[in-house]
Chain A
Amino acid sequence: MVPAEYYFLLAMVVFLLGVAGVLYRQNLIMILMSIELMLNAVNLVFVAASRTVGNVDGQIMVFFVMTVAACEAAVGLAMVIALYRRYGTVETNFLRALRG
């Protein structure tokens, strides 16, 4: 049996990869995927913790997160497409509407 810490470590690594992806990738699609990665890392923690504690609450939460993630992906991708149509690019460097 693999100790729970391993799962947590793995989750941390995956999560940090996600963060790094969000922070360093220019392409919106990649950013979205990085966010998915982070969500999955969280899922992993939930499942592992649930298993360790012997309580199914965490697993229920995972289902929750998965559905939300699916919705989020759908909406996010739709927005990316909308952005592409509007600006002709999905590179964040060119999307600067927030500039003050």
Chain B
Amino acid sequence: MDFINQHILSFLIFFPFVVGGLIFFIPNLRLAKITAMLGSIVTFLASLHVWYYFDGSQSGLQFFQSYQWIPQFGIKYIVGIDGLSLLLVVLATFLTPLVFLSLWNSDGKRPKALLGLVLLLEAGMLGSLLALDLVFFYVFWEAMLIPMYFIIGVWGGARRIYATMKFVIYTVVGSLLMLVAALVMYYAHYREFGFFSTSLLDLYKLNLPMHVQMPIFLAFALAFAIKVPLWPFHTWLPDAHVEAPTIGSVILAGVLLKLGTYGFVRYAIPLFPDATIMFAPVLMSLGVIGIIYGALTAWVQEDAKKLVAYSSVSHLGFVVLGSVAIVGDGLSPEALTGAMYQMINHGISTGALFFLVGCIYERRHTRLLSDFGGIAKVMPWFAVMLIIATLGSVGLPGTGGFIGEFLILLGTFNASPLLAVLASLGVLLGAIYMLKLCKAILFGPLDKDENKELKDISLLEAGYLVPLAVLVIVMGVFPNFFIDKTRASINHLAKNFKNYELSVSGMAAEKAPAETTQVPQPAKTEAGKG
């Protein structure tokens, strides 16, 4: 067991990677599908293993692994998991088998390559979630773009090239700035401590002066804000979603966007606490604007997928709002928990919504709301699923969405009552546009001839919709089951984000080379010039 626990995170990253690579060389499509499915299920089981053995009472890193990678430059291979990343890891591995299930009967364009790319994407996501070394993280962060670029660009809709270029260029602009900022930190660390390191555990100890923190924070924040996407950097998202194939949208909304908010929580906030305090009002305001703006624009959409895409802008506004709610001396732990919870819930309910829109698109080859109406009569189970997903999305108590939004608003109210009140308008507007979607598709007279013959969801479709629907409700009814795993880490971050340090629980931390010899005194004033 020890051996497994010591290597399981590397397994999580590289197993899908290897399987994904292999898929390209499997001649038989059926076999490729089985391999992909098995691969993703094994990964999921591995993540469940991590979930099970993860000790929620510890705030430090668990299943920690650290090796030298490029010692000359102080670059290491470090992976570890704590409460901040655990839920997202499980979410990512959970969604992937569902995605393969939805591809089970499809034999469209280059089906094998699609399978392989999804696995590579999973590896990329897990890598960036588990990495604790800036360079290592950056590699995976950029590597995720490549499969997504192809998924949208090859399997997408009519304007796929435009959409995928927009997606990649938007994201790369942010990440390049982040790279520059990372280099600045790299040198700053050298000046302060006398050795090079890109390990987060070392970088957390940096004490950067304000005028340095500000620009680097902004660079990091921009990269993450684009990924989230935070208003006004959101315009790539609707295009990408509308053009992407169903599974592309599911992964994009389900996990990829969360890496932006995860980035805030893991990197931007603890690395640059002073800048965070300074820019928190700005970020919170942008979050609130995003909530209301996304909701309003979602309301006037005529394309179901675009509506769901804009709803993501609104929901992720909540997550950003919750991540940076500063109360007194620390972050608000309630809001942070809510943000964490909302990330997962959004992944599940929006993932389900994209799947559902995909279901009717497959049948009717249109997503215009005006082409539907009264579908509940011919597709009753579809109606049940759509209503559950909708309720999860509008944050009805008893679904996961409520827990997330409630905790975020609760924490935010403590930080800034005005913003919380404005944000709660998003709750109202959310009901408006989601119910509009429901009504336009499910209710009203069944007057279109094409719709009268629609078949209800098949067993296969139920196979990936039901788990999502069940989770929407389970997350709302048993929130503590999920929060318990993250509580210690979140409270630790919330309380100590000003001088945040991550310890390694469970096993002895590998000592940084010069940590014991060099007293980190001398270079504090110089560090600014980095």
Direct interface between A and B, CB < 8 A: no
